[in-house]
Chain A
Amino acid sequence: AQSVTQLDSHVSVSEGTPVLLRCNYSSSYSPSLFWYVQHPNKGLQLLLKYTSAATLVKGINGFEAEFKKSETSFHLTKPSAHMSDAAEYFCAINSGGGADGLTFGKGTHLIIQP
């Protein structure tokens, strides 16, 4: 079985300050982990992915995430928030390497204060 837990349903930061969105995972196998972003009334867009190569993964729009096996975590960070980062963010896992899709967390709503 595999699962991800997003530890915060809402995160609010001021523009220009760092962003931290937390994700813990559970997996019986070596997982692939993903972060997706969803802007209002849009589909999901891949931000970045970890697939057993480098543990620090850089994505689009200045986001990065670090895979920490000892902590079973895959937290998403950005040094400086921008108003355009306001969106819903989803952590997802695929640990079987199979075709049965990704398992998603419940999402974190990121609010950017001016």
Chain B
Amino acid sequence: DAGITQSPRHKVTETGTPVTLRCHQTENHRYMYWYRQDPGHGLRLIHYSYGVKDTDKGEVSDGYSVSRSKTEDFLLTLESATSSQTSVYFCAISDGRGNTGELFFGEGSRLTVL
């Protein structure tokens, strides 16, 4: 299994509070991704990173920010959580070789915003 650790795995918070999810990898892969999974929507890309301090927006980036200060860590921040951000969040990594795009996923972080 790819060395990807997400924390926390479960979190319950209240509307308006800030939340940070952490993804830590031990594979030294260049590319890291945050997806959210919702019933009926599959997985949708929030933000991704193609190197330290290099990030870009995905399909559903509104209300989220990210940071990557080290190769191994990719943080997802909800500045002011809303109920619509209740979801399961997955971190994924890729080494980018061969441009096949294969991703390896973490176990997910379940966030509930009350």
Contact = CB atoms under 8 A, between A and B. Distances in A.
A43 B108 contact: yes
Interface of A, secondary structure class, is: loop
A11 to B, nearest CB: 16
B41 interface: yes
Contact of B90 (A41, A43, A103, A107): A43
Q: Which of the listed residues A32, A46, A100, A103 has the most CB atoms from chain B within 10 Å of its own CB? A: A100
19 contacts: A32-B101, A32-B102, A44-B43, A44-B90, A49-B100, A51-B100, A90-B43, A94-B101, A97-B99, A97-B101, A99-B94, A101-B58, A101-B92, A101-B101, A101-B103, A102-B101, A104-B42, A104-B44, A107-B42
B59 to A, nearest CB: 8
Interface residues of A, number: 25
